Amino acid sequence: MATLPLTAQDWQAIGLSLQLASLTTLVLLLLATPLAWWLAHTRSAWRAPVSALVTLPLVLPPTVLGFYLLLAMGPHGPLGRLTLALGWGTLSFSFAGLLLGSVLFSLPFAVQPLQHAFASMGTRPMEVAATLRARPLDAFFTVALPLARPGLVTAAVLSFAHTVGEFGVVLMIGGNLPGQTQVVSTQIYSHVEAMAYAPAHALAACMLVFSFAVLWALSALNRRHTRWLP
Amino acid sequence: MAAVSGEPDRIQLHWQRPGFALAVDFVPAPGAITVLFGPSGSGKTSVLRGVAGLERACKGRVCMAGECWQDDAQGLFKPTWQRPLGYVFQEPSLFAHLDVRGNLRYGLARNPAPQAAQALDAAIDLLGIGALLARRVDQLSGGERQRVAIARALATRPKLLLLDEPLAALDLRRRDDILPWLERLRDELRLTMIYVTHSPDEMARLAHTLVVLEQGRVQAVGPVAEVLASPASPVLLGEDVGALLQGHISQRDTQWHLACVAFEGGQLWLRDSGLAVGSPVRLRVLARDVSLALAQPQATSIQNHLRCVIESVHADTHPSQALLRLRCGSALLLARVTHKALAELKLQAGAVAWAQVKSVALVH
């Protein structure tokens, strides 16, 4: 690592990126799993609008999402007033705000693989579990989730990687505060702005290798996934 | 496993869907197999799903094993997991993330009934799957998978076993592999079972009580021999209409490799399949294999002749043909003959005739 021209601030950014991505992935799996289950099985009229809303971050420019989040989290926004009233201060330019933004921004990357996994297994495994005396929640954890494992892995990997790679939302709502909201992608931007190409090169190369490794691992994992046998 | 107390067994279900209406009311035979028989789309699977509580839109009243599982008039609906039943789906539907043992233990772990572990051991033994326990489910053949699925359902010690065309996904040879296991199940466990099929062979072989469904309605219900010999059966069964006889092997002729089956009303010779004298058997005699003569036939290659009384004459599926109900002792036979022959022989209800039986199928 000695050959890499990385400053302490660079390492800090890498650490923060990993921390943010890990937390985002954790929150997303908890949030996206029930949401994906509902989307895969509901016949409610709300399915279509909710599905569109969840997919929105996929097509929306990150700056747009970041802009609205900035407004909402500001002292006059609905979220900002709530957090102020609770005595937490405002979320903008904080790690918590960054986490919230990342969760929203990567939501489709977690929901879609899970929704696909739940939909493709159909209702039969849950029905079989019910005829074997399993309560619905029990069946969900012992049958549906294990069978959706490839979807879970894909969702986790994509959420993590997508969060590491996000830039627009971070810049809009995080500022670029070292140690708090400065992550790898924004740090590269700072280096380039300051004409410091060597550290920018090093960080960019790290990102490139990381992204390639993630996609490779994902493809390898998906090849040997277990499927529901009819 | 008959009802111990409380409500008598009865299944009344109705279900309105666009383009399909289901309305059935029948009593499954306790400790025996009730076959739901009918063409595809007749609502057989819907009935099964309704009984299991898998379709909330299927309304009515389901009382089995002395307790009511569903009575929509009283606002009672037990979800599937609270109904003490086993369900074998058309596709084996094993859990791919578990091995055979894991699949079998899934129900066991959630089963409050005592001696469930012994029930599982007995099911493993009964279905001959002891050697497969450590296998992954994708390493099993279709027949093995279905046997594991049946054992998995039995391990919960169900009071009612529902089987939805368990052999339909299998090729002919695998079917013949599994049918004997199902017969063992029927004969050894005395479990109340509802068995869905559209195969006349499976129906004739397994049914105690027959429920014939068409377009969501019960067309006929009763003991299988009675329903099969009823005048309505040609409409329901078409070319395969025939009578079912219960009897036992009374003697074996080793010189000609024949076995004699005695039933209430006579005896029939058929190929010796190796069953011991005294074995109970079920014979299927198709109406098209029975012809009539006024006197006991002489000098004919047909060996089986039964003296019988023509009970009634019915219209058949084709205007040239008639379907006759023949009574031989207490047994009923069906014969398919032309109206022309009936007129020439002056045969009508009440007449005595000799039935020549060209072939007999041993179904059990």
Collect all residues of chain A within an 8 Å Cβ-Cβ radius of residue B81. 129-136, 139
* Digit-coded pLDDT (tens) for B8-54: 999 999 999 888 999 999 999 999 999 999 888 899 999 999 999 99
> CB of B349 within 8 A of CB of B310?
yes
Contact across the interface for B81 and A130, Cβ inside 8 Å: yes
pLDDT at B75: 93
A133 lies within 8 A of chain B by CB: yes
Q: What pLDDT, on a 0 to 100 scale, did the predictor assign at position B364?
A: 66
User: In a 10 Å sphere around its CB, with 0-12 CB exposed, 13-18 middle and 19+ buried, how is residue B236 labelled?
Assistant: buried
Q: Is the pLDDT of residue B153 over 70?
A: yes
Residue A140, both tokens? 């969900």
* Closest chain B C-alpha to A230 CA, distance in angstroms: 5
Query: Least CB-CB distance to A131: which of B80, B94, B97?
Result: B80
Asked if A137 is an interface residue toward chain B (Cβ–Cβ < 8 A), one would say no
pLDDT confidence bin for A230, thresholds 50/70/90: very low
Average pLDDT over residues A88-100: 89
Taking 70 as the threshold, does the pLDDT of residue A2 lie above it?
no
Residue-level pLDDT at A68: 93
**Residue contact B85–A131, C-beta within 8 A:** yes
Which SS3 state, helix, strand or coil, does residue B138 take? helix
pLDDT of res. B3: 40
Cα separation of B206 and B2, whole Å? Answer: 19
In the predicted model, is pLDDT for residue A52 greater than 90? yes
Note whether B91 contacts A230, CB cutoff 8 Å.
yes
Measured CA to CA, the distance from residue B197 to residue B88 in angstroms comes to 13
* Topology (CATH level 3) of domain B242-362: OB fold (Dihydrolipoamide Acetyltransferase, E2P) (2.40.50)
| Confidence check: pLDDT of B346 > 50 | yes
Lowest model confidence (mean pLDDT) among A6-10, A177-181, B166-170, B234-238: B234-238
A35 reaches B (C-beta below 8 A): no
Average pLDDT on A46-61 reads 94
Q: Is the pLDDT of residue A98 over 60?
A: yes
At B280, which helix (H) or strand (E)?
strand B280-286
Q: Are the beta carbons of B95 and A128 separated by less than 8 Å? A: yes
Neighbour-count burial of A61, counting CB atoms closer than 10 A to its CB (0-12 exposed, 13-18 middle, 19+ buried) = exposed
Report how far residue B235's alpha carbon sits from residue B316's, in angstroms, rounded to the nearest whole number. Answer: 8
Q: How many helices (H) and strands (E) does chain B have?
A: 9, 21
CB B127 within 8 A of CB B151: yes
Q: Which residue on chain B is closest to A122 by alpha carbon?
A: B93
Closest CA to B194 of B59, B74, B51: B51
pLDDT, average across residues A67-81: 91
Average pLDDT, chain B: 88
Indicate the SS3 state at residue B53: coil
B-chain residue closest to A230, CA distance: B93
Q: Which sequence spans correspond to the domains of chain B?
A: 10-235, 242-362
The pLDDT score that the predictor gives to residue A229 is: 43
Whole-angstrom distance, CA of residue B132 vs CA of residue B134: 6
Nearest to B304 by CA among B275, B265, B339, B276: B265
Contact B106 A132 (CB under 8 A): yes
Among A127, A130, A143, the residue with its CB nearest the CB of B95 is A143
Flag if A128 and B87 touch (Cβ within 8 Å): yes
Query: What's the pTM value of the predicted model, to 2 decimals?
Result: 0.83
Q: Is the dihedral of CA A132, A136, A137, A139 positive or negative?
A: positive
pLDDT of residue A226: 46
The first and second tokens of residue B242, run together, are 């025939």
- The b/e string for B320-336 (b: 16+ C-beta within 10 A; e otherwise) is ebbbbbbebeebbbbbb
pLDDT value for A44: 93
Confidence of residue B236 (pLDDT cuts 50, 70, 90): low
pLDDT of residue A159: 94
Q: Which region, left, alpha or beta, applies to residue A41 given φ > 0 means left and ψ of -120 to 50 means alpha? A: alpha
Pick the CATH number of B10-235 from 3.30.300.30, 3.40.50.300, 2.60.40.2300, 3.40.190.10: 3.40.50.300
Edge-to-edge strand list for the sheet holding B280-286: B266-271, B258-263, B242-253, B280-286, B361-362
Region class of B333: left (phi > 0), else alpha (psi between -120 and 50), else beta = beta
User: Would you say residue B238 has pLDDT above 70?
Assistant: no
C-alpha pair distances (Å), A143 with each of A128, A133, A135, B88:
9, 13, 11, 17
Residue B173 has pLDDT above 90, yes or no: no
Residue B14 pairs with which residues in a beta bridge? Answer: B23, B59
How many A-B residue pairs are in contact by the CB < 8 A criterion?
A: 68
Residue ranges of domains in chain A, CATH in brackets: 8-223 (1.10.3720.10)
Contact with chain B for residue A127, Cβ under 8 A? yes
Q: Do A226 and B97 touch (CB under 8 A)?
A: yes
Cβ distance of A132 and B93 shorter than 8 Å: no
Q: Could you tell me which residues of chain B have a Cβ less than 8 Å from any Cβ in chain A?
A: 52, 54, 79-81, 85-87, 89, 91-97, 106-107, 110-111, 137-138, 145, 152-153, 156
Q: Tell me the residue type at A140.
A: F
pLDDT in tens, A178-228: 888 899 999 999 999 999 898 899 999 999 998 899 888 888 877 665 444
The predicted model gives B134-152 an average pLDDT of 91
Which residue in A133, A146, A149 is closest to B111 by CB distance? A133
CA distance A134 to B229: 43
Determine what percent of chain B is predicted with pLDDT higher than 70.
Answer: 96
CA distance A131 to chain B (A): 6
